[in-house]
Amino acid sequence: MQYTKSEVLDFIEENDVKFIKLAFCDIFGCQKVIAIQPALVPEALETGIPIDASRITGFEREHDSELFLVPDTSTMSLLPWRPVHGRVVRFYCDIRRADGSGFDIDCRGILKKAVDIAKLHGIIFNFGARSEFYLFKNDGEGNPTDVPFDNAGFMDAAPEDKGEDVRREICLTLEDMGVTPQSSHHSGGPGQNIIEFCHSSAVHAADDVITYKSVVKTMAAHNGLTASFDPIPIPGKDGNGFHITLTPMLREKDCSENFLAGILAHAAEITAILNPTADSYRRLGVFGAPEFVSWSEKSRRCFAYKKAGQPAIEVRSPDSTTNPYLAYAALIYAGLDGYLKRTKLPKPDAARETSEKLPKSAEEALQVFEKSSFIRNVFPEYFVRTFIQTFGCPRSGV
């Protein structure tokens, strides 16, 4: 729910909040923050807090060197791992220019626009995710090593599964922050874990992913470990998948078949968004990650999975380095195109020799993205140009 300015100020005073973190994401989906004092909250809510955008990859356009962060009050959340006295609260923010207009590379804003366009056609969504990560031991100086926290396998139990207590801390912390986990267990790789959380609206669900990654890293650090969301942290072992589930509904009726057909039709074009690093393509096609653009009602090893008679669509190609705001927007636009064109859904479990392959490399994915008229029709041109220019650039916070 949205809070009024007076409600926000009352919450800050009643909870002894001394620091307010204003959070946003760069084009890679990496979280950035600036902390302000309570006295600046009215200014933040009314006009926004200025930031130097020239130091943020993809935000450097000269006349946009000063941008403004405007807190979304519905995202107000205390950071439960910070002290009880002098507490810290976090808001996710919209990014504005000095004249109050939106910023083309505000990924959260891009997703909001996609949601609004779908609503014009009567379609609303729920999104959910299952995200994998590895836990690695740190050395004596607190630096990460390449030694996994355990050698357990898929759904193994303690004591082989040493990550059980860490996952419990993660899940309890997420609950304190308003994100509800559904399940958690050890995944297939040594030191690999997976957590699934409840479905919610598109923007809320993407916010939850950013919160989740932050909590995972923080709880790992509190336990003397390092968490990795890289697509292939250990060569020859399971990769980190980010399995997205979306449920499109047209006035409470199922419209998922046309929607899935649209996603399949544009799968190659949106792969650069869903799999944004060179290592992403080392994961595809191995350990159950999809290689072909196909779907199934029975097997979760295809690009997409959908139970017969059920509206939920699970897209399995993305990995944990994807920007959730862009990924959700791309899936909405692709599915909406299929719905509007009444694209026919191919038969499930199509033979491999008749199925299109996903791009085999980051270079191939970017070429398909760059040539796509669909991409340029649905995303702002400045965003498309910037995405192409920054694709493959070094990133922090993954």
Instruction: Encode pLDDT of 159-169 as tens digits.
Output: 999 999 999 99
- For residue 17, give the amino acid letter: V
Is cis: bond before 159, omega within 30 of 0?
A: yes
Q: Is the pLDDT of residue 351 over 80?
A: no
The pLDDT of residue 151 is above 70: yes
What is the rounded CA–CA span in Å between residue 157 and residue 143?
28
Would you state the pLDDT for residue 241?
A: 96
Q: Which residues of 156-193 are buried (b: 16+ CB within 10 A; e: fewer)?
A: beeeebbbbebbebbbebbeebebebeebbbbbbbbbb
Going by pLDDT thresholds of 50, 70 and 90, the confidence category of residue 398 is low
Mean pLDDT of all residues in the chain? 93
- Return d(Cα 385, Cα 110) in angstroms, integer: 15
Whole-number Cα distances in Å, 237 to 3, 154, 158, 160, 348: 46, 12, 21, 18, 28
Q: Which of 201-215, 300-314, 341-355, 374-388 has the lowest mean pLDDT?
A: 341-355
The region of weakest confidence among 62-71, 129-138, 191-200, 205-214 is: 62-71
Query: Quick one: pLDDT at residue 83?
Result: 77
Q: Give the bridge partners for 254, in sequence order.
A: 249
The residue-averaged pLDDT of 48-77 equals 86
Residue 350 has pLDDT above 70, yes or no: no
pLDDT value for 62: 47
> How high is the pLDDT of residue 84?
79
287 — pLDDT class (breaks 50, 70, 90)? confident
Assign residue 95 a region: left if phi > 0, alpha if psi is -120 to 50, beta otherwise? beta
User: What are the C-alpha distances in Å from 186 to residues 195, 318, 334?
Assistant: 9, 20, 33
Task: Write out the two tokens for 324.
Answer: 């959730």
What is the predicted pLDDT for the residue at 63? Answer: 58
* Residue 355 or residue 100, greater confidence: 100
Between 51-55, 137-141, 228-232, 233-237, the lowest mean confidence (pLDDT) is in: 51-55
Angle at 147 between CA 146 and CA 152, to 5 degrees: 130
Beta bridge partners of 250: 123, 253
Q: Give me the pLDDT at residue 288, please.
A: 86
**Among 185, 273, 194, which residue's Cα sits nearest to residue 227?**
194
Sign of the dihedral defined by the CA atoms of residues 357, 363, 365, 367, in that order: negative
Q: Stretch 4-23: mean pLDDT, rounded?
A: 96
Q: Which amino acid is it at 111?
A: L
Q: Give the pLDDT band of residue 64 (cuts 50, 70, 90).
A: low
Question: What's the pLDDT band for 392 if we cut at 50, 70, 90?
Answer: confident
Per-residue confidence (pLDDT) for residue 59, from 0 to 100 = 84
- Single-letter amino acid code for the residue at 156: D
Query: Which pLDDT belongs to residue 397?
Result: 58
Average pLDDT over residues 113-138: 96
Local confidence band at 60 (pLDDT 50, 70, 90 cut-offs): low
Q: 349 vs 310, which has greater pLDDT?
A: 310
Name the pTM for this structure: 0.95
- Average pLDDT (256-265) is 97
* pLDDT for position 383: 93
Confidence at residue 135, expressed as pLDDT on a 0 to 100 scale: 98
- Contact (CB, 8 A) for 200 and 180: no
How much of the chain, in percent, has pLDDT values that exceed 90?
84
